[in-house]
Structure 1
Amino acid sequence: MPEYEDLQETYPGAGTFKLGHDAESCRAQVDLIRKGGKRAVCAALADFEDAPEAMPVEGRTDIIALWNNTPALVVKTVKVQQIRYCDVNTNMAHSDLGRDDFTAWRKATKNAIKRDHKFDPEMMLVFEFFQLVEDLDGRQIEPRS
């Protein structure tokens, strides 16, 4: 039986989260991070009302998991910014989307927000800027349940 690493021993206090809304979008975003294109993630501030402990914190290390809960990446939060959707600039959108297409970012983000919230162009978003600490591809790590 293979030895599995306990990531909580390697990265104490790290939280775990997933990106996207399904397995395909999650994998696509993980791949963008691996290639260095995606350096931020944003969410509606309202997403954190019932789980304030999930709010990103500068300096914290977290694990990004694939849709099946397999740990994929370790990232460190370098900046957290609250901003209205209508005030997001092209640099922020590029950091989140992984490419220069502000219109595509607006459309994708609006659609993602509408899955869980009533959309308002003045609604507050939380932008988490991060750096990749480690790509866990190929390591034997016990999937989180």
Structure 2
Amino acid sequence: MTEELKVKYPGAIAWAFGDSSEMADELAGLVIEGKKTATCGSLSSFKNEEESPTIGGYSIILNGKGEAVCVIRTISLRIVRFCDVGEDLASKEGEGDLSLNYWREAHKDFFSREGTYQEDMELVAEEFELVDVV
């Protein structure tokens, strides 16, 4: 399926959200429901990825089993410090109660597991639109 999607969306990259199969399933589900229209990652991880999202580029989103579930298109990328993330980005991430407090706690935990957490760390914030559900 992923190969068919790469033909339909030339240049598409494939990846899963989060750091566990459960998180990949949950966050992909939020995208399909239209609740999640943004994500972020540490700038250091972004720089070390073999393939990174680009503005206008397509991403094939994988579930926890590595299966394609939807396709998104990146509409913006920006660098923001963890401490400067606001309510707008937190709610667009679509997680929990959509509050900045929830976002800060969940992402502090995530980036701590990744080993990159710092209050002033730089993040790559990506906003996207859902273009296809597989």
TM-score calculated relative to the size of structure 1: 0.85
Question: 1-side partners of 2:94 and 2:28: how far apart?
Answer: 12
Residue aligning to 1:35: 33
Q: 1:123 aligns with which of 121, 124, 133?
A: 121
Q: 1:85 aligns with which of 77, 82, 85?
A: 82
Task: Answer whether contact 2:23 2:64 (CA < 8 A) is retained.
Answer: no
Alpha carbons of structure 1 residues 30 and 118: separation in structure 2 relative to 1, 3 Å: closer
Measured after TM superposition, the shift of residue 4 of structure 1 is 9.1
Measured after TM superposition, the shift of residue 56 of structure 1 is 2.1
Structure 1: gaps spanning 5 or more residues = 137-145
Aligned pairs for 1:58-69 within 5 A:
58-69=55-66
Structure 2: gaps spanning 5 or more residues = none
Moved over 4 A (4+): none
Measured after TM superposition, the shift of residue 5 of structure 1 is 6.7
Q: Counterpart of 2:93 in 1: which secondary structure?
A: helix
Range with bigger deviation, 55-64 or 121-130? 55-64
Structure with the greater alpha carbon radius of gyration = 1
Size of the alignment, in residue pairs? 133
Alpha carbons of structure 1 residues 86 and 4: separation in structure 2 relative to 1, 3 Å: closer
Structural RMSD (CA): 1.8
TM-score calculated relative to the size of structure 2: 0.91
Aligned pairs for 1:39-78 within 5 A:
39-51=37-49, 53-78=50-75
Question: 2-side partners of 1:5 and 1:117: how far apart?
Answer: 33
Q: 2:91 aligns with which of 88, 94, 105?
A: 94
1:111 aligns with 2:109: yes
Question: 1-side partners of 2:120 and 2:2: how far apart?
Answer: 46
